[in-house]
């Protein structure tokens, strides 16, 4: 039987750069027409689609044709244009077999199988609807609803609407879920049957009728140079407040979003938590259910005491609790009312499975953000001008003695931590501290630490607590640490870019595709960690000590690049396939004769750009110049020497 347009399901739909019509290729601009793409498969062909996995075919369903994924493994197919931005995609979907409790997706802004937004249906928990994001191969649930009956043999009409950072899912023309995320701005459409046997029909891509919320534009992080310091982003003020920004016009207001609470700087604890009657953050934290989202309106939230997510306040693996900036608005948590030399922190996350995104945190008496729970995601945050480290991961209480209670598997993504200043001895205010009492699986990705009075990253260990879990740092930058951007420092400020140990305790940390430059002391240092730190494709330039300081240990070095350090590199360990270019005795050296010079770089003028979504670029700074013999000289064959953050 033909799948009629009685129901719609937002499937993962990926679009190519062009679509072929009648043998001609037509460029597809950003969506402006009412309908920009449709396919009912009545031609008996899926010529508009490109399948990459699974078993896809056009088959008869009753008297009409549908697009069928019949395999039990994951099936992905895509169509359309990667330039599409704001649009809705709808499809009729019928599940023949869930093969257990698996999902079927309709996706928008689909770039490839590792990057897309999706409307998902499954038969788990009595039927589950989800808005999901996959970015860089990692999946995140943005919104969820359980108890929505989903059965085999039934046609569901699903619509996924994308407008700016607003993502909405409709089933049977009824709004079911809404989420906000802006990490993916464009892409085509795709259909995904994740281990299900599923039929799709009547796929239509249309212009969104409402104007989208404004998308944040790229902003530039403080740019360093040997002679000039950047202007600090902000100076904490105990009295300054900002009225909430007016609501963007494109956000649906007629239908409340299930599982959402809205918070504003002028909200009241007794309010309902709707967009028209916002509540306070403290009230929302006690009321939000697993899978729910707290939307923070723009403005300055002034706090005189820590904001704490308690240990018993947690989401789940399939239903996180989320705190996120509303649309493109900017919520600022200002803790400047705390005594600056006090032990009072800013935002404390002791619970598990939280996702916090899009905030600014400043002025805390101690740490700006402190994480003591597990499986949390901290994304696109700016932490600055705090008394201790901008962000620290350590056990939530001194009584949490065993490693099983130490914070584990937290992801810190796209966080910028700068100008944190310790006025006492200069040895506490790091950009990021993952030290003393942390468990396994903690990851830093696409983060920047700059102008902190102590180190960019501090992974210190102590003999009285023993080894910590392995920390992974990737795609990250540390520069100008050892003093603040306005010149504050102390005689005890260390000023390392990446400090990877302490007190001669072995922990095999992992540092990949990261950059250190112009730090007061070393770029990357083992700091007495005698283990086997894995250092791969990192670049270190013009630091005050050694670019790489690994005096002892069995460390593993692959494709690292050092240039123009003040002291010779120390490189105890394995030089994998002779792929590391070191700086020793004021000269470039490599075991197989590669030599780095200023001509190997497009530019040695420092530039760090942090985009609105938290992504990073160095522009031409430290980029290998065309013709450099460092290009393709690494391992595996064809891999460049050094980091690539472009």
Q: Per-residue confidence at 238, pLDDT binned at 50, 70, 90? A: very low
14 and 190 Cβ atoms separated by less than 8 Å: yes
- Tell which residue, 579, 587, 575, has the closest CA to residue 631: 579
Residue 265 has pLDDT above 90, yes or no: yes
Instruction: Kindly report, residue by residue over 85-109, the tens digit of the pLDDT.
Output: 889 999 999 999 999 889 999 999 9
pLDDT band at residue 73 under the 50/70/90 scheme: confident
What confidence score (pLDDT) does residue 264 get? 96
> CB-based contacts of 334: which residues, under 8 Å, 6+ apart?
236, 237, 238, 240, 300, 301, 302, 303, 362, 363
Contact 490, 530 (CB under 8 A): no
DSSP 3-state of 36: strand
Mean pLDDT of 256-283: 89
| 237 vs 41, more confident | 41
- Note whether 517 and 495 are within 8 A (CB): no
Average model confidence (pLDDT) across the chain: 85
User: What's residue 314's pLDDT?
Assistant: 95
CB–CB of 624/600 below 8 Å?
yes
Q: pLDDT-derived band of residue 403, with 50, 70 and 90 as boundaries?
A: confident
Q: What is the pLDDT of residue 469?
A: 94
pTM of the model: 0.64
DSSP letter at 130? E
CB 600 within 8 A of CB 562: no
**pLDDT reading at 65 higher than 80:** yes
Average pLDDT over residues 403-423: 93
236, pLDDT greater than 60: no
Q: How far apart are the first and last CA of the chain?
A: 51
CA 186 to chain centre: 17
pLDDT of residue 248: 30
23: exposed, middle or buried (C-beta count within 10 Å: 0-12, 13-18, 19+)? exposed
Q: Which residue has the higher pLDDT, 403 or 227?
A: 403
Q: What is the arithmetic mean of pLDDT over 622-632?
A: 96
Q: Is the pLDDT of residue 485 over 70?
A: yes
Q: Are 614 and 380 in contact (CB under 8 A)?
A: yes
The pLDDT, as a whole number, for residue 426 is 55
CA nearest to 89, candidates 30, 19, 166, 37: 37
Q: Bridge-partner residues for 56, per DSSP?
A: 69
Query: What's the 3-state SS for 97-119?
Result: ECCCCCEEEEEEEEEECCEEEEE
pLDDT confidence band for 28 (50 / 70 / 90) = very low
Write down the pLDDT at residue 232. Answer: 30
* CA distances to 349, 352, 388, 417, 434 from 375, in Å: 11, 6, 23, 21, 15
* Average pLDDT score over residue span 324-344: 90
pLDDT at 29 over 90: no
List domains and CATH numbers for the chain.
18-207 (2.60.120.560)
State pLDDT tens for residues 354-395.
Answer: 999 999 999 999 999 999 999 999 999 999 999 999 999 999
- Tokens representing 572 are 């105890």
Examine the pLDDT at 307 and tell me if it is beyond 80: yes
Other Cβ atoms closer than 10 A to 81: 24
Give the burial class of 57: count Cβ atoms within 10 A of its Cβ; 0-12 exposed, 13-18 middle, 19 or more buried: exposed
The verdict on whether omega for the bond into residue 342 sits within 30 degrees of 0, i.e. cis, is no
Work out the average pLDDT over 533-553. Answer: 97
Strand 609-610 relative to strand 219-220, pairing: antiparallel
- Residue 423 near residue 379, CB atoms below 8 Å: no
User: Given this model, what pLDDT does residue 439 score?
Assistant: 94
Map residue 458 onto helix, strand or coil: strand
Q: Are 382 and 416 in contact (CB under 8 A)?
A: yes
Query: 10 Å Cβ neighbour count for 236?
Result: 19
- What is the CB-side half-sphere exposure of residue 590 using CA atoms within 13 A? 24
Beta strands 457-458; 498-499: pairing state: parallel
Q: Which of 459, 443, 628 is nearest to 539 (CA)?
A: 628
* pLDDT for the residue numbered 258: 59
What percent of the chain is modeled with pLDDT above 70? 86
In this predicted structure, the answer to whether residue 516 has a pLDDT above a threshold of 50 is: yes
Mean pLDDT in residue range 529-557: 97
Comparing 124 with 255, the larger pLDDT belongs to 124
DSSP string, 276-291: SS-B-HHHHHHHPPTT
Q: What percent of the chain has pLDDT over 90?
A: 68
Q: Which residue has the higher pLDDT, 502 or 214?
A: 502
Tokens of 464: 């009285």
At 217, is the pLDDT very low, low, confident or very high (cuts 50, 70, 90)?
very low
Residue with tokens 């239509």: 204
**Residues identified as active-site:** 499
> Is residue 567 over pLDDT 70?
yes
pLDDT (tens digit per residue) in 43-55:
899 989 999 999 9
Report residue 489 as tokens. Answer: 């420092």
Pair 125, 158: CB distance under 8 Å: no
How far, in Å, are 158, 231, 390, 529 from residue 612 at the CA level?
30, 18, 19, 36
Provide the pLDDT confidence category of residue 220 given band limits of 50, 70 and 90.
Answer: very low
- The string of pLDDT tens digits covering residues 286-306 is 999 999 999 999 999 999 999
User: Is the distance from CB of 528 to CB of 550 less than 8 angstroms?
Assistant: no
Residues 31, 21: contact at Cβ < 8 Å? no
Average pLDDT for 462-488 = 92
pLDDT greater at residue 377 or residue 10: 377
The three-state secondary structure class of 125 is helix
Strand (E) or helix (H) holding 190: strand 188-194
pLDDT value at position 212? 32
- Least confident span in 484-493, 544-553, 555-564, 594-603: 484-493
Q: What digits encode the pLDDT tens for the residues 444-457?
A: 999 999 999 999 99
Residue 245 exposed, middle or buried by CB count within 10 Å (0-12, 13-18, 19+): middle
d(Cα 394, Cα 372) in Å, to the nearest integer?
6
Please tell me the least confidently modeled range out of 96-110, 199-213, 232-246, 300-314. 232-246
Residue (of 181, 188, 179, 69) closest to 130 by Cα position: 179
pLDDT band at 34 (very low <50, low <70, confident <90, very high): low
Q: Under the phi-then-psi rule, with left for phi > 0, alpha for psi from -120 to 50, and beta for the rest, what region is 179?
A: beta
Q: Residue 582: phi, psi to the nearest 5?
A: -105, 170
Please check the confidence at residue 319 and state whether its pLDDT lies above 60: yes
Calculate the dihedral angle through the C-alpha atoms of 139, 166, 185, 131, rounding to the nearest 10 degrees.
Answer: 20
Cα–Cα distances (Å) from 335 to 74, 92, 205, 235, 308, in that order, read 48, 50, 46, 12, 13
According to DSSP, the residues that pair with 562 across neighbouring strands are 540
- How many residues make up the chain in this entry? 646
pLDDT class for 16, splitting at 50, 70, 90? very low
Tokens of 216: 């944040």
């Amino acid at each position: 039987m033909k799948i009629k347009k009685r129901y719609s399901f937002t499937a993962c739909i990926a679009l190519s750069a062009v679509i072929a019509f009648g043998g001609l290729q037509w460029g597809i601009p950003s969506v402006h027409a009412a309908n920009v793409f449709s396919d009912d498969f009545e031609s008996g062909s899926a010529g508009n689609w490109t399948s990459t996995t699974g078993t896809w075919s056009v088959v008869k369903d009753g008297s009409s044709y549908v697009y069928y994924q019949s395999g039990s493994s994951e099936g992905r197919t895509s169509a359309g244009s990667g330039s599409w931005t704001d649009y809705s995609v709808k499809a009729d979907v019928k599940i023949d077999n869930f093969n257990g409790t698996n999902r079927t997706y309709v996706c928008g802004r689909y770039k490839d199988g590792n990057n897309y937004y999706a409307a998902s249906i499954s038969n788990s928990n009595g039927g589950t609807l989800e808005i999901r994001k996959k970015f860089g191969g990692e999946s995140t649930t943005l919104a969820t609803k359980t108890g929505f009956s989903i059965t085999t043999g039934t046609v569901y009409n699903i619509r996924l609407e994308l407008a700016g950072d607003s993502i909405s899912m409709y089933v049977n023309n009824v709004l079911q879920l809404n989420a906000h995320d802006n990490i993916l701005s464009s892409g085509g459409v795709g259909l995904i049957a994740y281990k299900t046997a599923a039929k799709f029909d009547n796929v239509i891509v249309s212009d969104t009728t409402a104007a989208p919320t404004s998308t944040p534009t790229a902003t530039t992080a403080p740019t360093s140079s040997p002679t000039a310091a950047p202007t600090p982003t902000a100076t904490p003020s105990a009295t300054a407040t900002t009225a909430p920004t007016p609501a963007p016009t494109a956000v649906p207001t007629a239908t409340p979003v299930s599982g959402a609470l809205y918070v504003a700087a002028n909200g009241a604890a007794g309010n309902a938590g709707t967009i028209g009657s916002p509540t306070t953050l403290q009230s929302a934290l006690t009321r939000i259910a697993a899978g729910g989202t707290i939307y923070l309106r723009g403005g300055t939230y002034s706090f005189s005491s820590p904001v704490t997510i308690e240990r018993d306040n947690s989401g789940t693996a399939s239903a996180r609790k989320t705190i996120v900036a509303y649309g493109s608005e900017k919520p600022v948590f200002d803790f400047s009312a705390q005594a600056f030399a006090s032990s009072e922190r800013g935002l404390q996350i002791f619970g598990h499975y939280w996702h916090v995104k899009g905030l600014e945190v400043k002025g805390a008496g101690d740490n700006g953000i402190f994480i003591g729970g597990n499986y949390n995601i901290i994304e696109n945050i700016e932490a600055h001008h705090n008394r201790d480290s901008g962000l620290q991961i350590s056990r939530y209480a001194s009584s949490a003695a065993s490693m099983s209670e130490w914070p584990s598997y937290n992801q810190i993504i796209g966080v910028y931590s700068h100008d944190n200043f310790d006025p006492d001895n200069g040895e506490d205010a790091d950009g990021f501290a993952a030290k003393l009492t942390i468990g396994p699986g903690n990851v830093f990705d696409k983060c920047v630490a700059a102008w902190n009075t102590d180190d960019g990253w501090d992974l210190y260990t102590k003999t009285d607590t023993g080894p910590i879990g392995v920390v992974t740092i990737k795609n990250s930058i540390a520069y100008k640490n050892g003093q603040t951007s306005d010149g504050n420092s102390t005689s005890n400020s260390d000023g390392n870019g990446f400090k990877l140990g302490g007190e001669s305790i072995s922990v095999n940390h992992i540092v990949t595709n990261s950059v250190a430059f112009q730090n007061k002391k070393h770029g990357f240092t083992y700091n007495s960690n005698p283990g086997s730190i894995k250092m791969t494709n990192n670049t270190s330039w013009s630091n005050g000590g050694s670019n790489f300081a690994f005096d002892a240990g069995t460390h593993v070095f692959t494709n690292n690049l050092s240039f123009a350090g003040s002291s010779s590199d120390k490189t105890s360990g394995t030089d994998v396939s002779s792929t590391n270019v070191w700086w020793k005795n004021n000269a470039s050296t490599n075991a197989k004769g590669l030599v780095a010079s200023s001509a190997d770089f497009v530019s040695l003028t420092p530039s760090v750009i942090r985009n609105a979504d938290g992504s990073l670029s160095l522009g031409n700074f430290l980029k290998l110049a065309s013709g450099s013999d460092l290009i393709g000289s690494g391992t595996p064959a064809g891999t460049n020497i050094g980091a690539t953050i472009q």
